[in-house]
Structure 1
């Protein structure tokens, strides 16, 4: 029996040597935990750049402001109208200088639209515009060439676009977010004059 007690005592010490644990039965406190790393320093806030200033075009939302009506009665500047008559020789004979009168601005209102100089083209665009730009441009071109008898080019897109043309008849119309521009091709005679 003594032998068994000696073996049990040796087994527990051998087991503590071969398989160490924090509680080896010796009554010692377990090892303290590993130290925790210090927290990382916080980065300074990122500086933000100011937003870029948008470059506006004529049809952008930033340009759409309420128009103010000018007082036409208080205008001091005006355009003078010269009356003339044609004599028998088809030459122009001007009346005497003293008969010139300052034209009343309210008598004649001249409306100049920089986007369209042909109301027939505007009507064709309005009638044939479609949500699909490729369908719109084909319809508009066919209708222009059929009714106005000429060669017309058509550009349609969503939103704004930039272009340069040499033409005598043109019209740009925006309906919803579709903008279409139609212009008549110059004749060979006019093209030759431009060269």
Structure 2
């Protein structure tokens, strides 16, 4: 059986988990925390999560995992059967994962973990996110899902990462860059969360947070 390794607080872990659940692909969850321990580096070269364990070996990076699942389980139709629509789904995922989330990630140390970010980083991220959010808004449909009327694989990325962008910018700059741009990510997340698979991801993330708080 496929093993999904990581922890519930990771948005990229949740992205892969949502794809697995939505498409009814059997898997086992294995709790793994990111680290630079040699034992982990044998499975994940940068010590990151998630990674997937298969009968062929280990695979890291969330989008590579999603692409592998789509190829291994073609009957699940993880991506659209139409080549153009599938390409647009991949484009949307790239915008969310790279242009938005990875840019906003530069703020997380201060926004979520009690650290600090430099003024230079604040200025650079503000400039980049303003530009990237404008581009994202040009292609995102929110009708009600990112690519249109039907839930799709791009929503696995949007559901787990758009809230982080909004919350991080709200904390660091005093304003939510997404809401300020007219992107109502809160209504979007509520819509996605009505799906049983998404609700399970949410509930299990909350349970993980609660258990971690009790243990600390």
Instruction: Pick the structure with more strand per residue.
Output: 1
Q: Comparing both chains, which one has the higher relative contact order based on Cα–Cα distances under 8 Å and sequence gaps of 6 or more?
A: 2
The TM-score with structure 1 as length reference comes to 0.21
Which structure would you say has the larger Rg? 1
The TM-score with structure 2 as length reference comes to 0.19
